[in-house]
Amino acid sequence: MIKKLSLLAAGALLGSGLTTLALSGHIPMLGSAVAASVDTYRELNLFGDVFERIRSDYVEEPNENSLVEAAINGMLTSLDPHSSYMNAKNYEDMQVQTKGEFGGLGIEVTMEDGIVKVVTPIDGTPATKAGILAGDFITAIDGTDIQGMTLQQAVDKMRGPVNSAITLTVQRKGTDKPFDVKIIRDVIRVQSVRFEVKDDVGYIRISQFTAQTFDGLKTSIDKIKAAVPADKLKGYVLDLRNNPGGLLDQAISVSDSFLDKGEIVSTRGRHDADTRRYAAKVGELVDNKPVIVLVNGGSASASEIVAGALQDHRRATILGTRTFGKGSVQTIIPLGSNGAIRLTTARYYTPSGNSIQAKGIHPDIEVLQDLPDELKDKVTETKGEASLPGHLKSETQGAEGSGSQAYVPPDASKDKQLNMALDLLRGLQANAAFPPKGDDPVPN
């Protein structure tokens, strides 16, 4: 980021030099640029005038910091749905999320009737060791009643420095009254990868792409190989359904785990010089076993990079419903103690040159889930990138997508997409799209 800012500063200096040269006979060529600069400063003066008028005349005394934040955010959100401003607190939260580890207790929680409910304690964490159970209600944190807090506020209070102490007041079904549990915070690593050996098939679920994802994937593959002899292992199911994305480098590493050569993804920005291409290294991790990737309307961004790369190289069969269609790159630009901006700087392109933006990845085999009666009259589709106001347009051929089903049954026995993938790998069903045919990328 320092390098990028230095280049911007150099560009500003070069611009000043060009303006000086224009004064010695090249004004017609640069006149429009000078005029644009004057207009820009005039608009900035207008902003200052409006800001001062609000400060002095609004019916109540406004929070000046909030006004500035809102103005900056308004400027960024007017560009596209994914550019935005993050104040210092939100920037810190974003870093925690993408790093995949933080000081905390190790519990997944939700809010129920204004009280925090434990969904599950994570194995091996301080919460598990202290005896916290799924279904416990947390009514107070360090003596402060949770009633009236948002879920995020409660989570923020439970996180904290490693080795610091916290006391939770817990209400448990079957106990007469709440009781206190003292816990010492430790480093908690978000488990973005989970795996399961389904007899002769390795099932790997990636819920998001954090800094820990590739390591988690490699560990999962190693454990699957150790559990199932190579001659018995039919292949792998890679489940990316409802995975909203995350870090680009992790999407590249995950794709590389299944590829032995070729381009994984390219990013193209405003200028030709901004184009970046990322290629697979020699060697893959799954011994060329068949792979089926599960996707749906909730699979976005980094998930679409992985699905697109494996599909274009015909390394995997994509099964499910069309993905979300978020094919843009956001660069995080820190602003010192003032947080950071998230700025859209490029689009993603699959190896065949197709833009993911607003179109998504179309599965090789489309499989819709059966909805339970209680959901049949409710929305179970994501609207997709193309439905977001102000979204970037795709620059390659193909119609923009509308909604796509994103429902996954909690009971695996009713999961049509997963069960079809298992049947295909075991040879119990046949489909022309499995296994994929050919070695070269699908032509654009």
Task: Report the distance separating Cα 100 and Cα 105, nearest Å.
Answer: 14
Kindly give the pairing relationship between strand 115-121 and strand 107-112: antiparallel
- Residue 217 sits at the vertex; the CA angle it makes with 213 and 222, to the nearest 5 degrees, is 150
Choice among 301, 303, 328, 355 that is catalytic = 301
Tokens of 118: 């434990």
Q: Which of 256, 312, 364, 415 is catalytic?
A: 312
Residue type, 129: K
157-171 burial by CB neighbour count: b if 16+ within 10 A, else e? ebbbeeeeebebbbe
Interacting residues of 439 by C-beta distance below 8 A, sequence separation 6+ = 313, 314
Are the C-beta atoms of residues 182 and 166 closer than 8 Å to each other? Answer: yes
Alpha helices in 230-363 (DSSP H): 248-256, 302-312
Beta strands in 44-122 (DSSP E): 84-86, 101-104, 107-112, 115-121
Position 317: which residue type? T
Give the span between the Cα atoms of 141 and 369, in whole angstroms: 41
Known active-site residue 136: no
Structure tokens at 426: 């075991």
* Contact assessment for residue 38 and residue 19, using Cβ atoms and an 8 Å cutoff: no
- Sequence letter at residue 255: S
Does 3 qualify as catalytic in the annotation? no
Maximal C-alpha separation, the chain: 89
Does residue 301 carry a catalytic annotation? yes
Residues β-bridged to residue 205? 194, 239
Distance between CA atoms of residues 150 and 121, nearest Å = 20
Query: Is the separation of the CB atoms in 430 and 305 below 8 Å?
Result: no
Among residues 198, 234, 326, 359, the one annotated as catalytic is 326
DSSP 8-state assignment for residue 152: H
The conformation of residue 399, written as its DSSP 8-state character, comes to: P
Indicate which residues carry an active-site annotation.
Answer: 301, 312, 326
